[in-house]
Chains A and B, each alone.
Chain A
Amino acid sequence: MEYVSPEGLRLDGRRPMEMRQLRAEIGTVAKANGSAVFEMGNTKVIAAVYGPREVQNRSQQINDQALVRCEYSMANFSTGDRMRKPKGDRRSTEISLVIRQTMEACILTHLMPRSQIDIFVQVLQADGGTRSACINAATLALADAGIPMRDIVTSCSAGYLNSTPLLDLNYIEDSAGGPDVTVGILPKLDKVTLLQMDAKLPVDIFENVMGLAIEGCKAIANYIREVLLENTKQLEYRRGL
């Protein structure tokens, strides 16, 4: 099947280096300490953060740091075929672990000892790149909750089909059987914190694809920063003196 036409257009009309439409909204779940909705094309994810609050399970309390917990769940209607089990399956457990480790690396946990931070991510629509969308949404929700972080974390995926590196794969491109590289970076520190790939790829092409994904992450970082800055300014001028 042809994923990139001879004119250089992908199945949904994008150019190979073009990312899908991004949209972020802060403060959707009123009861949570911080929450956000993040959309990358048709992939739509809600993240909610509760905390820092008292540790519920005393045995898990860490004396000098905050305990970070994360749960990833997909809605029944999120994928094309209805899912039987929205949580508890292996993929969800793995993604929960990945998100937790990524966010834990950037939260300054030693500033909130003996407390607990819960990050809940709910996928409303899945069209490829759910892992990345979840991490981006979680970053927004943590910033909304006022939790101190070393740097924001942004994530994007890239692949290689029809001899072209493609940025931000959607579901059809992802299921094509080509490689899928997901990268998460700390933009200010310029460090990679998450790197996952499946299928196989020659090393020099891998460098290209990874570089493309990092470029995508930086673009998302700019967008997230704009959104957060706008939100902060709005809260400040509403509040007045």
Chain B
Amino acid sequence: MRGLKLPLSQTQRVRLQRAFEKLQSLSAKANSDASLTVADTIPVNYEDAFLKGHGTADLNGELVATVCGVVERVNNLVYVRALRARYKPEVGDVVVGRVVEVAQKRWRLEINFSQDAVLMLSSMNMPDGIQRRRTALDELNMRSIFEENDIVCAEVRNFQHDGSLQLQARSQKYGKLEKGQLLIIDPYLVKKSKQHFHHLEQFGVDLILGRNGYIWIGEHVEARDSMVIDQAKNIEQSTVVEGINQAYTPLEMRQNICRIANAIRVLTSLGFNVDLNLIMETVELSSSLKIDIHDMLGSEFHVLVAEMEAERRSLTTKRKR
């Protein structure tokens, strides 16, 4: 548990230990043999033709690992999957980032990668919805679309020759994110799935699981018609939003947002995968036990979630057999 110090009573400690032992016994035997540290030799049959992937290096004819992680073999490719590391982008990934700089014809976004990613002005839909060439006026008005510190959802378009990343936000579902909170977790806990945008109807909440470990939970916003409005209307809306109480998120929705956020916090501190099913189960567990939102971060709930996860995984492995 990273830097997590929970005051656990004796019984809680025992229960937690037991849940973790159960999880350990359930994880595939092959997995524990495949774990490596830096400079460990990777067991490979040198006669087969194999490709060296990420996390490996050639040392005096031997294949060694350069990171601590788990060896994966896919066809002929042998690579080491590092667990805790910076985000490893793939083309087509949905990511959530924060704007750090508004530069000439582009925005620079911070996305938990070794360099900042670039979102070109030409990769964004214009507010008036017309497909046209970007003029100098558009360049000067870039701040009206995104300004510094805004949270933006986008997709990875490609890699530049120098290793930096290019993003695009052409579809209606991408764009600026407001009215909610951002959570930053480790990227390895977010798995690649078909759907990264989740609209939770029963809560009225949008949940976006960025592959780079940035998770957005906010009020549900209809797909981006708000982008197709005039500049004038935009200014009018923003003055209305500032400073009036009614514009705040309603209390019930806020409670849902906080509950989901705390569920994610508990899952990450225990080291479990963060995917929609698990989050929903955790939220349902907390509401069924009538646990106060803040108490979700207490030791008792952590132990309960660990036990629940151990149960769930043992059931799925039993089903598989």
Q: Which residues of A from 211 to 241 have beta carbons under 8 Å from B?
A: 225, 228-229, 231-240
Tell whether, in the assembled complex, residue B38 and residue A152 are in contact, meaning their CB atoms are under 8 Å apart.
Answer: yes
Name 14 A/B residue pairs within 8 A (Cβ), A-sorted: A33-B86, A34-B84, A52-B86, A63-B162, A115-B115, A143-B67, A145-B84, A146-B82, A148-B55, A152-B38, A228-B37, A232-B36, A238-B272, A239-B271
0/1 interface trace, chain B 62-90, chain A, CB 8 Å (1 if under): 00101111100000000000111110000
Which of A35, A112, A143, A148 has the most C-beta atoms of chain B within 10 angstroms of its own C-beta? Answer: A148
Tell whether, in the assembled complex, residue B59 and residue A189 are in contact, meaning their CB atoms are under 8 Å apart.
Answer: yes
- B3 CB contacts on chain A under 8 angstroms: 27-30, 35
Q: Does A187 contact B (CB under 8 A)?
A: yes
Q: Given that A30-B3, A239-B273 are known contacts, is A151 also in contact with B84, CB under 8 Å in the complex?
A: no
Tell whether, in the assembled complex, residue A236 and residue B31 are in contact, meaning their CB atoms are under 8 Å apart.
Answer: yes
Tell whether, in the assembled complex, residue A237 and residue B31 are in contact, meaning their CB atoms are under 8 Å apart.
Answer: yes
Q: Given that A54-B115, A144-B84, A188-B59 are known contacts, is A236 also in contact with B64, CB under 8 Å in the complex?
A: no
A interface residue numbers (CB < 8 A to B): 27-30, 33-35, 51-54, 63, 66, 108, 112-115, 143-152, 187-189, 225, 228-229, 231-240
The 9 closest A-B pairs by CB, nearest first: A146-B85, A238-B271, A30-B3, A52-B114, A237-B27, A148-B66, A115-B114, A188-B39, A27-B2
Q: Given that A51-B114, A146-B84, A150-B57 are known contacts, is A235 also in contact with B39, CB under 8 Å in the complex?
A: no
Tell whether, in the assembled complex, residue A113 and residue B57 are in contact, meaning their CB atoms are under 8 Å apart.
Answer: no
Q: How far is the CB of B176 from chain A (nearest CB, A)?
A: 22
Q: Does B203 contact A (CB under 8 A)?
A: no
Tell whether, in the assembled complex, residue B39 and residue A237 are in contact, meaning their CB atoms are under 8 Å apart.
Answer: no
Interface residues on B, range: 35 or more
Which of B24, B26, B66 has the most C-beta atoms of chain A within 10 angstroms of its own C-beta? Answer: B66
Q: Which residues of B from 26 to 40 have beta carbons under 8 Å from A?
A: 26-27, 31-32, 35-40
Please tell me which one of the listed residues B1, B24, B57, B70 contacts residue A232 in the complex, with CB atoms under 8 A apart. B70
Tell whether, in the assembled complex, residue B37 and residue A232 are in contact, meaning their CB atoms are under 8 Å apart.
Answer: yes
Smallest CB-CB separation from B21: which chain A residue?
A237
- A144 CB contacts on chain B under 8 angstroms: 68, 84
Task: Kindly state the separation between the CA atoms of A35 and B84 in the bound complex, as whole angstroms.
Answer: 11
Tell whether, in the assembled complex, residue A146 and residue B67 are in contact, meaning their CB atoms are under 8 Å apart.
Answer: yes
Tell whether, in the assembled complex, residue B66 and residue A150 are in contact, meaning their CB atoms are under 8 Å apart.
Answer: yes
Tell whether, in the assembled complex, residue A146 and residue B35 are in contact, meaning their CB atoms are under 8 Å apart.
Answer: no
Tell whether, in the assembled complex, residue B114 and residue A239 are in contact, meaning their CB atoms are under 8 Å apart.
Answer: no
- B70 CB contacts on chain A under 8 angstroms: 232, 236
Task: Kindly state the separation between the CA atoms of A63 and B1 in the bound complex, as whole angstroms.
Answer: 37
